[in-house]
Amino acid sequence: MAEAPVFAVVGHPNKGKSSIVATLSQNDAIAIALEPGTTRKRQAYPLSVDGHRVYTLVDTPGFQRPRRVLEWLEAHSVSVSDRAETVKAFVTQFQDDTRFADECELLAPLTEGAGVIYVVDGSIPYSPQHEAEMTILRWTGRPSLALINSIGPDDYSDTWQRALGQFFQVVRRFDAVRAPFEQHLSLLKTFGQLEPEWEAPLNEATRYLSEQRHQRRRESATLIANTLEGMMSFREQRTLTVQQVTEMSDQALADQLRDQWYKHQRKKEEHLRIAIERLYQHNRVQRQEAELVWHSEHDLFSENSRAAWGVDRRYLATAGFGAGAVSGVGIDAATLGHSLGTGALIGGLIGAAGSYYYGDRLALPVLKIGVLKNGIRTASFGPVQDSQFGYVVLGRAINHWWHISQRNHAGRELLDLAPADDHWMESLDRRSRQTIHQVFDQCRKKRPLDDKTRQTFRDAIDAAMTEFDHWRLNQP
């Protein structure tokens, strides 16, 4: 079996080598800082499928003394044919020399057969000052590709592209922080074009990465669906003894139950966030600050949240009609069709009327305080009786999923979960709307969902995710 290709990501210090590696290896725990010398040792990041390496990316330190290295190489080379050997000799001779530690670290994988991925910053003007390091890389004789990464806001990519074309086989632009996933795959395919025998493994890698992304999306839909089911049907319950009953007023009990209920719901939502982040291998997202801001301005239960993520009365009425009609079909089935569809019609009208009536009310969950019986009194708060609550949770969850799924692992900025300014769910297909509404209704009535309903609910969430994706991508 052929050895898996290795690509050494090399370049001048602080040009985004680690960012490129972080994004392609989906690792947000790689140190990235605008400080030369952040990467001191080469580090391999293999992509494995079932434990078998498909390719390896090697992050390396930047060149520190390229002119001195080039001078040594030129002094020890007789002809073009011995250049690769001379580079190898340099690494052998200076591997223990602290002066050339960085150069040895970055050249070693190239002498062992790695391909060259040379990274430059396209946001700063081109300068021929880096030609010494490009010449050294050319001396290695390895297949090479130059990547123009843009760290700052300016764009000098065109100049870079022209200049790099003289030194490298392929020149590509790639924004490590902002490039969409499709570009990651496209870049990996380009890596495969550097050598004929690398094409198959890199194509295989992109196929698996693509499948993995689809799988993550499905799992996200399942996580969101399960959380929604749990949150919509959650009831906070407490059993009190006679002594506790006498010590606590009904109002105090209600307040406590309500607080506990809110606390539980927020915890469930937080768990969902973390689960989705872990799924996409974002383990270090700085969401803490963003969440606090999010909660203070767009609290889950505030009217603002409802305005941002809820749906309007017309939507509710339409979805309610569909959900009611589905229930009413049961009557028609029971009468073996003799009711001529009246059941579906009546059910639909009742569902639509109920949804329309309650549509603009942020109804609180049901608070029930039972009577004292056998020295024990039970009190409960929930489930929430307002379907809008479900739409708010759903909207927020999908918004978070979208941001996480689009976020590259080189990104270190705060995750800003801005609320939507449009009711994107209104373009969701009717069937999915009805399913979501029906499930919300069932949950708030504490009716258990069967496996089939759960599956269709997951599919509806998936459809909502697709809809949100389209809506975000078509945003001006």
Partner 1 sequence: MAYSRLRRLLAFDRQIRRDGTQSPVFLHRRDRRFALDCQDRNETPSVDRWLVHLERVGRMGGKDSHQSRLAASAPEQTLIKWRRLLATFALFGVIFGIVAMAGLLYYEGGQRINLTVLLAFAALQSLLALITIVQSTVNWQPWRPVLRRLGLGGRESPLKPLMPALMARVAHTGGVCFGLAGVATLLVLVVIQDLAFGWSTTLSTSAEGYHQLLGTIAWPWQHLWPTAVPDLALVDATRFFRAEASSGEADPELWGQWWPFAVMVWLVYVVMPRLAGLVLAQLQLHLRARRALASHPGMVALEYRMETPTVDTGNQHHDALDSPDEQTAAQCQALPDSQILIYWAGADDPELPDSLSAGHLLTESAGGQRSLADDEQAIERCNDLLAKQAKPAVTLVTRAWEPPIAELKDFIEAARNHWPKKTRIALLPFTSGATQLNSLQQLGQWLRFVDRLNDEQVCVSQPDLRSPESRAYEPKPEGLK
Q: Which is nearer to partner 1, 57 or 231 (CB)?
A: 57
d(CA 351, CA 466): 27
At residue 341, φ and ψ (nearest 5 deg) are 80, 5
Candidate residues 8, 10, 20, 47; the one interacting with partner 1 per rule CB under 8 A? 47
Cα separation, 103 vs 90, whole angstroms: 9
The half-sphere exposure of 399 on its side-chain side, counting CA atoms within 13 A, is 24
Nearer to partner 1 by Cβ, of 219 and 426: the residue is 219
Asked whether position 273 contacts partner 1 by CB under 8 A, the answer is no
CA distances from 23 to 30, 43, 181, 282, 365 (A): 10, 15, 9, 11, 44
Q: Which stretch binds partner 1 (CB under 8 A): 22-30, 312-320, 387-395, 398-406?
A: 22-30
Interacting span for partner 1 (CB under 8 A) from 64-72, 105-113, 233-241, 416-424: 64-72
Rule CB under 8 A: say whether 92 interacts with partner 1: no
- With the C-alpha atoms ordered 134, 136, 138, 144, is the resulting torsion angle positive or negative? negative
Q: Does position 288 bind partner 1 by CB under 8 A?
A: no
**Beta partners for residue 9, in sequence order:** 59, 117
* 36 or 375: CB nearest partner 1: 36
CA distance 274 to 295: 16
Q: How far is the CB of 64 from partner 1 (least distance, A)?
A: 4
Structure tokens at 276: 């989705």
The whole-angstrom distance between residue 112's C-alpha and the CA centroid of its chain comes to 35
Select the residue interacting with partner 1 from 30, 148, 417, 464 (CB under 8 A): 30
Query: At its nearest, how many Å lie between partner 1 and the CB of residue 26?
Result: 4
Contact between 451 and partner 1 per CB under 8 A: yes
Q: Please tell me the distance from the alpha carbon of residue 92 to that of residue 109, in angstroms, as a whole number.
A: 12
C-alpha distances in Å from residue 4, one per residue of 18, 57, 274 = 21, 11, 34
Chosen residue from 215, 237, 239, 249 binding partner 1 by CB under 8 A = 215
**Residue 470 touches partner 1, criterion: CB under 8 A:** no
Check residue 329 and give left, alpha or beta (phi > 0: left; psi -120 to 50: alpha). Answer: alpha
- Which is nearer to partner 1, 223 or 425 (by Cβ)? 223
Tokens of 457: 């609910």
Nearer to partner 1, 68 or 263 (CB): 68
Residue 46, interface with partner 1 (CB under 8 A)? Answer: yes
Contacts 24+ apart (CB under 8 A), 367-376: 367/254, 367/257, 367/258, 369/250, 369/253, 369/254, 372/242, 372/245, 375/241, 375/242, 376/239, 376/240, 376/241, 376/242
Q: Which of residues 71-90 bind partner 1 (CB under 8 A)?
A: 71
Q: Using CB under 8 A as the criterion, what x/- string covers residues 195-214 for binding partner 1?
A: -------------xx-xx--
d(CA 93, CA 76): 12
Distance in Å, CB of 96 to partner 1, minimum: 17
Give the x/- contact pattern for partner 1 in 118-157, rule: CB under 8 A.
Answer: ------x--xxx-xx-------------------xxx---
265 Cβ contact list (under 8 Å, min separation 6)? 231, 234, 300
CA dihedral 379, 447, 361, 300 (to 10 degrees): 80
Q: Does 57 bind partner 1 (CB under 8 A)?
A: yes
Q: In this chain, which of 33, 340, 363, 372 binds partner 1, going by CB under 8 A?
A: 33
Residue 286 or 342: the one with the smaller Cβ distance to partner 1 is 286
Binding part of the chain for partner 1, among 231-239, 248-256, 274-282, 285-293 by CB under 8 A, reads: 274-282
The Cα 23–Cα 411 span in angstroms is 8
Among 165, 361, 448, 473, contact with partner 1 (rule: CB under 8 A): 448
Q: What is the contact surface with partner 1 in residues (CB under 8 A)?
A: 12-14, 24-38, 43-51, 56-57, 62-68, 71, 99, 102, 124, 127-129, 131-132, 152-154, 208-209, 211-212, 215, 219, 223, 275, 278-279, 281, 284, 409, 448, 451, 454-455
